[in-house]
Structures are given as C-alpha cells and as structure tokens.
C-alpha cells in the first residue's frame, strides 16, 4: 500500500478549479468578517481546513489522495454547517455528513477496485493502462465513482441533503458550498472521463442532468424560503453542468466547464446577497419581506446582476455558457426543450423574488434598516463585476482557461440569431409562467402547512429519512429487548460453545 500523498503537476483543469476555489474562498473570508458574530476560532479554523481540503482535492494526483481530501472537506463543511448551533442546522448537518460519507465510501470502493485491477492509485499510470482494462471493469469502476461524485454534487436522485444543508449553513458557507464544494464532484467526473477516455454521448449522465435541471427548477418555483429557493436552483444548475459533461462533445464539455466557473460566480453572488438580506432583516421567508430595493440599493443591483446571469440573459456570464450548452444539443429537440423550460422556470422564480422581496411595500418592522456593511457589500460588488466581465469577455476567457483544460480549441460565436431567439423565448416563457403561476396560485409566497399528500410519500427525502429512522428504531428496540440477566448471558457463552463444536463437527464431516 502507498501512504504518501502525491500531487499533480498543476494542469489546466486543476488550475481552473483552483482559481475558482481560491477566488470564491477569498471573497467568502472577507464576507465572513462582517457576517459571523460568534465562535470565531471555530469558524475560521473549520473554514481554513475546508478550503485547504478543497485545494487538495483538485491537486490530488491519485484517487486515494482525492478521497482523503474529499472526506476532510466533508468533515470541515459539517462543522461549518452546524456553526449556528440550532436544531435545524444539526439535523441538516447530520444528514449532510452521512450522505457525504456514503458518497465518499463509493469513491473509496471504486478506487480500491481500480487498485485491484491495476495495482496503483496513481491517475497518470491509470491513464496509461486504462486501454487494457475490460469494458466491464471500467463500467463498474466508473459507475461507482460517478455515484459517489453525484452524491457530492447533490444531483437528482442523490440530492436529499442539499436543500437542507444550504439553508441551515451560515450564508457565506452556503455560497462556498454551492459555489465550490459541489463542483468538486463535477471535477471528479470530468477528470475521470479524461483519464479513462470515455468522452462520448453518455446517456445516464444526461438523464441525471436533465432530471436535476427540471426537478430543481420546478421545486425552486414552489419555495418560499429564499435560501431554499437558491438551493434548488443549485440542483438545477448542476444539471446543466452534468448535461454538458454527458454530451461529451467539445462544445458541450467546454460549456459544462464554463458553467462550472459561471455558476460558482453567480451562485456565490446570489447567496451572499441573500445573506446580506437575512443579516439585515433577520428574515428569510418571502412573505415577510418587500420593498427592499429602496433601502438596500447596492444589494438590489448586485442581486439583479446575479439573477440575470443565472437566467441566462445577455450580456452576463450565464448567457455565454448556456448558449454553448444549448448549441451542443442543437440536434436534439427534447434536450433543447428541457434547457429552454429550465431557463424559463429560473427566470420566473427570480421574477417572484423581485416582486416580493425587492419591489412592493416595505413591512413596518423593517422601516429603519440600512444596507449591509462594506465587508459584505464588497464581495458582492466584485462578483457582480465578474458576472458582467466574464459575460462580455467570454471568448478570451474560454480560450485562456477552458480550452486548455479540455485540450481543445474552442471557437464559438455567442452573438447570432439562434442565441438571441433562445433568450427572447426564455424571457417570454418565463414571464408567462410567472403570470400564470400567480393567477393559479401555483407560485406561493406564504408557507402553508403541508398536509400529508400522496406526493409526500413519493418524496425521496422522506423515504431516505424513514429508512434511517427505521434502522435507528430497530436498534433501539434491540437495545430494549437485549436481556440484562446474568444467567442468560452465561447461557449464551455455553450455547456458543455447543454451536461452535456442533457446527464445525458437521462442517468437517
């Protein structure tokens, strides 16, 4: 067994990820100076370990190292999620860490299987010997590895931890979680596709991607909690990335990778803006808010930038990557429809936030609030600038950052009729979904007491939680019936002896 921890000579893919991690983490640190009010040592220690482990995962040269840093990252993030010390964050953190451990164990198993096949964990050696593996071995390995990564990403159907963990964490941590941490899974899948040379149309990844897109956006439309809404958008945006990876063409892969960068920027921006709102108003439900555009002008502007970027409106960065993704599926009508619908739904749900959080009437309790402190505004301004900058200069960024990472030269024309029609269609459809939703009461702003309905029983989250509760309850029952009688315990000893002798006796015969 090897115990040392080797690192890649930095290549472009690692570099791209490292740039994303470094910049978002830096801004998160700055934001935290104003946002975090207690348990400083605890918070910054856990944050540092998490960021360190994030860097470790992208620079890891072998699978074992990747796994080690993945687990460190999960453990660090767990302590960040429970930083608030309230019951909901404990529950979310508990779910998070167990899901992450399951995902990690999938990655570990795949790594150990590969070690069995090839005798090494080293990815550069595996790349050389990959053609000698049988297709069955590769299929088993890659499916285990990608399930592990998909759990880390929070893609449907492994998303159960994500909508709980994001709202429970402190806002800068939500930004880090959504902006960077879940990208590590995508990084792992891209890296492994390159290593194994599997870059082609991958139906299962596309299915997971499309399911995440649609599922995420539909549930996001239904949410009334600001952070939960953004969390579901994370699922749907990660669906885009998986779709791009699954298509496997150069444009699709470049689009997916570009969306990794763009999503990190605009989702971090959105979470930080929402964080400012929560920091100032102490409220996170849509129906408690309203009219914030007047009292929090800078947050309003930066949030607008982020919302336009996530909806794919030019000239912001979301537009560029979504245009590439929709170009890559041009010959497939169903995928095209899914992309358009997701973009429209995203647009509609942000219209909802605008209407009920920033426009409208300011509640009386919030009369004398001011915009967030400078330490919290600065990162959002920087990120908003980045959204605009990446959107405008997308071609040079693709050629300097993305193209080397996938080792292909990408030439893409962002401004043509097709992309413009897409955009207009998105805006039109989104507005109509919004209006239709308001008329039919589909888009709620107030949280209702959910009656146990049939849909509730179909919920994956509920199933997993009930399975876990069942295990817990059955062990509690075991504990209850576990006898405490000394004579019975002695009986067990001698019964074991008898059973052993008898069993081995007959086994021998």
Partner 1 sequence: MNHAPILIITIPLFGAFLTHLTKYTKIKRGAELVAFICLLLSLLLLLSMGSSILSGEKITYNLGGWRAPLGISLQVDGLSFFFAALTLGIGLAITTYSLGIYIFARRYYSLLLIALSGILGIVLTRDIFNLYVFFEIVAVASYVLISYKHKPRTIKASFKYLIMAESSWVLFLLAIAILYGLTGTLNMDSIAHQMPTIYQADPKIVIVIFSLMLVAFGIKCGMFPMHTWIPEAHSQAPTPVSGLLSGLILKAGLYAMLRIFFLFWGATLFMLSIETVLLYLGLATLLLGAGMALAQNEVKKLLAYSSINQIGFILVGIGIGTELGLTGALFHILNHSIIKTGLFFCAGIIVSQTGFWKISQLRGVSKAMLSMTIAFILLSLAVIGIPPFNGFVSKLLIITATIQTQKYWVAVILFFGILLSAAYYFKVIQSFFAKDEFVTNRDFTPRPVGRFEHVTVYVLVLACLVIGLFPDLLRNMVTLAAKVVLQ
Partner 2 sequence: MTIINGLTIGIITILIGIYGILTKRNLIKMVMCLYIMNSSVILFFISLGYRSGAQAAIVENGDQLMVDPLPQALMLTSIVIGLVITSLGLALAIKIYKEHSTINTKRLIEK
Binding site for partner 1 (CB under 8 A): 1, 3-4, 64, 67-69, 71-72, 75, 78, 82, 84-87, 90, 93-94, 97-98, 101-102, 105, 108-109, 112-113, 115-116, 471-472, 474-476, 478-480, 482, 486, 489-490, 492-493, 495-497, 500-501, 504-505, 507-508
The single-letter DSSP state of residue 62 is B
Task: Give 48 or 472: the residue with its C-beta nearer to partner 1.
Answer: 472
CB of 56 to partner 2, least distance (A): 52
Report angle CA 169, 170, 172 to the nearest 5 degrees.
Answer: 115
Residue 214's binding partner out of partner 1, partner 2, none, with CB under 5 to 8 Å set by partner kind: none
Asked if residue 192 lies in contact with residue 60, where contact means CB atoms within 8 angstroms, the answer is no
Residue 475's binding partner out of partner 1, partner 2, none, with CB under 5 to 8 Å set by partner kind: partner 1
Task: Report the C-alpha gap between 407 and 412 in whole angstroms.
Answer: 15
Residue 3's binding partner out of partner 2, partner 1, none, with CB under 5 to 8 Å set by partner kind: partner 1
Task: Give 1 or 458: the residue with its C-beta nearer to partner 1.
Answer: 1
CB of 234 to partner 1, least distance (A): 24
CB of 498 to partner 2, least distance (A): 10
CB of 493 to partner 2, least distance (A): 9
79's tokens: 């302590």
Residue 370's binding partner out of partner 1, partner 2, none, with CB under 5 to 8 Å set by partner kind: none
Residue 75's binding partner out of partner 1, partner 2, none, with CB under 5 to 8 Å set by partner kind: partner 1
Residue 199's binding partner out of partner 1, partner 2, none, with CB under 5 to 8 Å set by partner kind: none
Task: Report the C-alpha gap between 44 and 33 in whole angstroms.
Answer: 10
Task: Give 203 or 498: the residue with its C-beta nearer to partner 2.
Answer: 498
Task: Give 424 or 499: the residue with its C-beta nearer to partner 2.
Answer: 499
CB of 44 to partner 1, least distance (A): 14
Max CA distance (Å), the chain = 88
CB of 45 to partner 2, least distance (A): 46
Closest CA to 8 of 47, 63, 50: 63
The single-letter DSSP state of residue 83 is G
Residue 507's binding partner out of partner 1, partner 2, none, with CB under 5 to 8 Å set by partner kind: partner 1
Task: Report the C-alpha gap between 80 and 75 in whole angstroms.
Answer: 9
Enumerate binding residues for partner 2 (CB under 8 A): 484-487, 490-491, 494
Residue 137's binding partner out of partner 1, partner 2, none, with CB under 5 to 8 Å set by partner kind: none
CB of 181 to partner 1, least distance (A): 16
CB of 490 to partner 2, least distance (A): 6
Task: Give 411 or 490: the residue with its C-beta nearer to partner 2.
Answer: 490
Backbone angles phi, psi at 62, to 5 degrees: -130, 165
CB of 461 to partner 1, least distance (A): 17
Asked if residue 111 lies in contact with residue 140, where contact means CB atoms within 8 angstroms, the answer is no
Task: Report the C-alpha gap between 191 and 281 in whole angstroms.
Answer: 42
Q: Is 213 helix (H, G, I), strand (E, B) or coil?
A: helix
Task: Report the C-alpha gap between 159 and 215 in whole angstroms.
Answer: 10
Q: Is 285 helix (H, G, I), strand (E, B) or coil?
A: strand
Backbone angles phi, psi at 131, to 5 degrees: -65, -20
Report angle CA 58, 63, 65 to the nearest 5 degrees.
Answer: 65
Residues contacting 422, CB < 8 A, separation 6+: 312, 322, 323, 326, 340, 343
Task: Give 417 or 493: the residue with its C-beta nearer to partner 1.
Answer: 493
Task: Give 424 or 490: the residue with its C-beta nearer to partner 2.
Answer: 490
Asked if residue 397 lies in contact with residue 404, where contact means CB atoms within 8 angstroms, the answer is no
Residue 460's binding partner out of partner 2, partner 1, none, with CB under 5 to 8 Å set by partner kind: none
Task: Report the C-alpha gap between 347 and 349 in whole angstroms.
Answer: 6
Burial class (CB in 10 A: 0-12, 13-18, 19+), 465: middle
Task: Give 451 or 486: the residue with its C-beta nearer to partner 2.
Answer: 486
């Amino acid at each position: 067994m090897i115990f040392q921890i080797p690192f890649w000579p930095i290549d472009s893919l690692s570099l791209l990820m490292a740039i994303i991690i470094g910049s978002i983490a830096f801004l998160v640190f700055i934001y935290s100076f104003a946002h975090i009010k207690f348990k400083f040592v605890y918070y910054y220690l856990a944050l540092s370990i998490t960021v360190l482990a994030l860097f470790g995962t992208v620079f890891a040269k072998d699978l074992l190292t990747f796994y080690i840093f993945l687990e460190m990252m999960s453990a660090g993030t767990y302590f960040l999620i429970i930083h608030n010390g309230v019951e909901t964050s404990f529950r979310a953190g508990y779910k998070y860490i167990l899901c992450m451990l399951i995902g990690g164990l999938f990655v570990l198993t795949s790594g150990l299987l590969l070690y069995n096949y090839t005798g090494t964990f080293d990815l550069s050696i595996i790349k050389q010997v990959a053609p000698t593996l049988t297709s069955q071995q590769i299929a088993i390995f890659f499916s285990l590895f990608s399930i592990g990564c998909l759990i880390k990403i929070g893609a449907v159907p492994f998303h159960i931890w994500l909508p709980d963990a994001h709202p429970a964490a402190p806002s800068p941590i939500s930004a880090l979680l959504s902006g960077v941490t879940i990208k590590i899974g995508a990084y792992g899948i891209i890296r492994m596709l390159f290593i194994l040379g599997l870059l082609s149309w991958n139906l299962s990844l596309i299915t997971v991607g499309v399911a995440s897109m649609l599922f995420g956006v539909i549930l996001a439309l239904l949410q009334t909690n600001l952070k939960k809404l953004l969390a579901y958008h994370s699922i749907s945006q990660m669906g885009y990335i998986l779709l791009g990876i699954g298509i496997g063409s150069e444009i699709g892969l470049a689009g997916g990778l570009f969306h990794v960068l763009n999503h990190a920027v605009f989702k971090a921006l959105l979470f930080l803006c929402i964080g400012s709102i929560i920091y100032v108003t102490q409220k996170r439900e849509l129906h408690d808010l309203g009219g914030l555009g007047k009292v929090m002008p800078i947050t309003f502007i930066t949030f607008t930038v982020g919302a336009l970027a996530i909806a794919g409106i030019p000239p912001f960065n979301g537009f560029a990557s979504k245009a590439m993704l929709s170009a890559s599926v041009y010959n497939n009508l169903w995928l095209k429809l899914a992309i358009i619908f997701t973009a429209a739904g995203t647009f509609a749900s942000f219209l909802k936030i605008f209407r009920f959080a920033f426009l409208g009437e300011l509640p009386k309790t919030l009369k004398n609030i001011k915009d967030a402190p400078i330490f919290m505004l600065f990162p959002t301004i920087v990120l908003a600038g980045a959204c605009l900058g990446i959107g405008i200069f997308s071609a040079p960024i693709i050629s300097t950052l993305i193209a080397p990472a996938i080792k292909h030269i990408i030439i893409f024309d962002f401004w043509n009729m097709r992309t413009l029609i897409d955009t207009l269609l998105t805006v039109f459809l989104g507005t109509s979904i919004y209006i239709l939703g308001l008329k039919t009461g589909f888009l709620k702003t107030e949280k209702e007491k959910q009656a146990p309905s049939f849909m509730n029983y179909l919920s994956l989250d509920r199933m997993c939680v009930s399975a876990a509760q069942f295990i817990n309850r059955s062990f509690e029952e075991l504990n209850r019936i576990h006898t405490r009688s000394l004579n019975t315990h002695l009986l067990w000893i001698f019964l074991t002896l008898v059973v052993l002798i008898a069993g081995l006796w007959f086994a021998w015969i």
